[in-house]
Every structure is written in C-alpha cells, then in structure tokens.
Structure 1
Amino acid sequence: MATSPQLTTNNAPRGPQLIVGANATQRALGGDEKAAVLLLALGPDYGKPIWDELDDVEIRTLSRAMAQLGPITQEMLDELLIEFVTNISSSGALAGNAETTQRLLSSFLPADRVDAIMEEIRGPAGRNMWEKLSNVQEDVLANYLKNEYPQTIAVVLSKIAAEHAAKVLAILPEELAIDVVQRMLGLDPVQKDIIEKIEQTLRTEFMSTLSTTKRRDSHEQMAEIFNSFDRQTEARFLTTLEDRDREASERIKALMFTFEDLTKLENSAIQTILQRVDKKELAVALKGASDAIKDFFTANMSQRSAKLLRDDMADMGPVRLKDVDDAQSRLVGIAKDLAARGEIVIAKSKGDEQMVM
C-alpha cells in the first residue's frame, strides 16, 4: 500500500504526522494508538467525516495519542490495516449492539467516558438525557430547576416534552415561570457546547443522585407489599390497619391492583393477558372467582376456548384456597409485567378520568 510521509489530520493539531519508515521501532499498539494511526493514515480528506462526529473529549484523546505516537513501521501499518479489515469482514456483515459499541469505544476512550456514553444509550428504554427528564416527576424537576438561572431553565424546558414542560412551569414560582416563558419565546438556537455543558451538569448533579434523593411514596410501596400477601393475610392486615388508621388503609387499597381489578381493564388488554397465561393456571385462578369475573374472562375468549376453560374448572374438583391465591397473584403479575413493557395499560377504574359536562 502506498503511503505518504506527511499524512496529517484535519481537526487534530497539525504537528502529529504519520511517519512510516524502516528506522521506526516495531511495537504493539494500544487501542487509542490504533485509532490515531488509522485516522492519520486516512488524512484530512477521508478522515474529516469521522472527526466531525467526535466530541471535544474524543478529539483531545486522539490528538494526545497522535502527539505521542512517534514513527510507525510499514509492517505495523500493514498489520493494523489487515486487522481492521479482517474484524469488519470476518462475519460477512456488521452487527451493531450495545456490547459491540462498548468494546469499540473502549478501544480508544477512557473507561469513565465509555461508561457515561453507554449509560446514556442504555438509559431507561434507551432514552437520551432529555427524554429521561420528561419522565422525571414534575415536582422533583421543578424543585431542582427553581435554583437555576432562568435562561438555563428555558433551555431545559425547550428540550423536553411540551406536556411535561407545562407541568413543570405550573409548579415553578409564578414570577420565575413568567420570566422563563419570555426567555423561551425569544430563545435563539443554542450552541452545541452549551447544550453539552447543561447535559453534563444535569447528569452529574441531578440524574446521578435522583435515585437516592427521590423518596418513594410509602403508601405506594406498602400497596405493592400487600399485593404480595395471600388473601387471608391481606385481609387481616387491612382490617387491623383500618381500625388504627382508616385514611392510610383506604389509600393503600386505592393503590393496590388486585385480581378483581383485572375486570376494569379494556377488552384488548385482557385478550393480551390471555395469550400469555397458562390455561390450566387460569382455570385455578378463576375457580375461586365470582361468576361476574368468570363471565368477564370467558367473554374475551372464543366459544371453544371458553367451553374448555369451564370444563377444566368442573373437572378439577375442590382446590385449595392457597393455590387459587397463588394463581391469581401470578395472573396479576403477568398483567403488571405487560404494563411495564407498554403492551397494555393498567388503570384502577375505567371511570378514573374526570369528565366535564
């Protein structure tokens, strides 16, 4: 392969040069050195599209590696190019996923930088920083932002979902909120480096500590615990708690999602659940249910499937209450898992939404 004794990068300092010659010392190259050699060999014309995709940290890292690179032998260059081409073509196709991305980044970036990038990629449902903020409880986000400069708040709210921004604005002190609105109205395109600084600040000062500073509602947590009780234990605790603290008992019951609440789901949600549940276990779960609940489930099944289900319940004879409770709990668990993946929507009641006549 023909090489040039003065191949330089476009974005990196003009000082580093890829010097190829017999006088260079043969040695193994590290990950960042390999990336530096490849970019130097590509030169300013072919390497520019790559440099344009790098951020300041990556450019500094590669530039530092180039400055300390020294001469590269022809053999070293040839081996590196062969390794590069072989790695790309060995499987016949490229497969992009989180693991391969992390390995690639680790070859030329510091570990902390790789971790930050992968955390961003792998974040909740793969969301970026602004999508994550759109899922932070509005009062928590407003409480953090109220101590920031109005211009910073304007930038942040302009980047998140409009519906969520509206909720945050409504919670901010009125004078501050009006100031932010005015700034958002006159907001010019924000420079990339400013956005990156805001993202970094949010990541280090807010998102990283959110999980430890955000206190979960104790009634919600207790409702999940009560959901895990068998029916007798649940009834015993709720009855005792109701005698001592009726308000707390009512709040917990309102937050609990029980087997009976499945009848409040949309028909499409029940049909999705029926596709995932074992039919024998469904028969056990319905064995101890009311006729109304049985009718609700069978109405969402084909006539043949409904008949088989009734036959299974009739043939199994008496069933222990514990087995019924366990089967019902697993059915509720399936519903919650499906809701967590966004495949169904769980609401406590079809009448939860307020209506104005």
Structure 2
Amino acid sequence: MTEQAGSPPSVVSEETAEAAKMSGVERSAIFLLSLGEADAAEVLKHMGPKEVQKVGAMMAQLEDVNRSKVVSVLKYFIEIVRHETGLGMGADGYIRNMLTQALGEDKASGLIDRILLGGNTTGLDTLKWMEPRAVADIIRYEHPQIQAIVVAYLDADQAAEILGYFDAKVRLDIMLRVANLTTVQPAALQELNDILERQFSGSGSTKTTTMGGVKRVADIMNYVEGSIEAPLMESIKQVDEDLCTEIEDLMFVFDNLSDVDDRGIQALMREVSSDVLILALKGANEAVKEKIFKNMSKRAAELLQDDLEAKGPVRLSEVETAQKEILSIARRMADSGEIALGKGGEEMV
C-alpha cells in the first residue's frame, strides 16, 4: 500500500518523498543498515524484543537498497530531528517524562531503569527474547499458577503462541487463572525471578506488579490461532459463561475494524502491505471491505477490488494469519496513541 503510505506533512520534502512512502519498520531497517554493524548493534540494545525482531526481519528482507533510498531515509530522519522539541533539554528528565506519558508509570518504570540506569533485564524479561516453544518448555513442569503469571506477564502475541504448545486442558487452566489474577506480591515475583535467573542473568523487582485479569485474557485470545481459539473459548464458557461473555466483549477482532474512525483506518492502511491486505479481505465481511475501500482513493480502491477478484480461493489459515498481522499493527498503533480502537473512535476500555 505504498501509494497510501506517508508521514507528517511537516517532514515531507522532495528529498524525503521516497522515504515517506515506506513503512516505519522499513525506514528503520535501512537507517540501521547504513550505520554499520557496531553502531547498529548499539541502537538495537535499546530496543525491545518485538522491535528487534521486526526490524531484524526487515533488514534480512531488504534487497537492492540503492543510494537514493538511503539518502532519502537519512534526510527524512534529519528532518524529524529538526522538528523535535526534546533536544537541548536534560536528557534523563525528558526520557522519563516521555516514557511515563506514553506507557504509564508501571510499564515505563522497567524500561526507564534499563535505558538510564543500565539495569539488566529480570528473569521474566529475559523470556521475552526467547522463542515461544522454548518458554513453554521452561514452564511446562512448573506449578499452574507460575505458568499463569508468566503468560500474563509476557506480550499477548508471544503468550498466545506459548499456549499453542500446551494441551487443551492446560490451556484452559492457565487462562482461567490469568483471568482471576490481579496483582503479584513482591516476594512471589522475586521468587519467580530467582528461579529463572538460575538460568539467566538479571536483577529482580521489588514492586508489586499488576498483571492478568479478564482484559489480559482477551488480549491474548486476540492472537490465539483460530483452531485453538474456538475450543478454548467454548471450554471457558462451560466453566464460567459470564466470564466467557466478558472476554468476548473485550476482544477486538478483524470485523471490529469497521468501527474504527476514518482517520484511524487511513493511518492503519499506511502500515499494511498490499499482499497482506488482499489476503485479509478475502475473509472479511462486507462492512470491513466497505470501510477500507471508502478510505482509499477511487483508483486505489478499484485496483484492490481487481486484485481481490483475481486472487482466487485461498486457505483459511492464510486469511487468519493476514488478519492477525493487521490486528497486531492496529493494537500497536492504539497502544502508542496513533489510532483509537472502538466505535466512533472511542477506545475500548
């Protein structure tokens, strides 16, 4: 969807137009490639596991990055820096305030410590850098409550993949425990960190940590594969029908994109590739299709409709994967405040 890709008008010039058409991940990948291995590694140290994975994957995919692209990206970043108001302020204070406002005090505290104080990741944080299968193997024989704490602590998409490596009975037990989990006392969290840090390095947290709850279950369920999601939700319903209803009400699924406001849809489409969008729309309802077409130029909408018709039958698993990729982008943008998920632009809380 490069013809819709863009960036804030204030940083778009003739020299940066090529970079403005790229996604943020692609620009970042080209920028890091231009730095050289050592400098790029220093930048990556300050990024989270998901960001590293996305940028790293894009760096591996890039081919034929010509000089004009590199120059356009570099000038694009220079223009952004020129428009930043944080430069010249006390760096520590600026970073603390920025991250706290963006993420909230609880989420920002650990990240601030790692960036400003050079703190090591805790045992739990180390799991975020691991493959889901490896995490599942580590917690497989732990107490179910330990498994629930780990699943509740990790990012929702990673937690969903971890659940896929357990059988149906264990998945149900974990999700029910996550739904009933609210806070974890410092002593319990420290003990869990100590267990994990026998294998990893890091420092523990002494704060009471809020995690789990019905909203957390809904977030995880949004990423669970369709073949697992349906039977798991049915099992939860059999145990607690009201809880199942509450989870469903909090889930944001692909069909809900029709409730996102036009500005949000336009911003989302700038981050989605044409191939992924075509696959996702093959299984979308008419309301979602209409919402997408409405927020494209007439020419772009016609081309997309032609591509949809020419695509032919596709596997349901491919459609679900594409839809989940778009939903993942939408949730990331919602978390950063770029768009609002919910009817009429109202956030779902």
Q: Which has the higher contact order (CA 8 A, sep 6+)?
A: 2
Higher Rg: 1
TM-score by length of 2: 0.42
TM-score (norm 1): 0.41
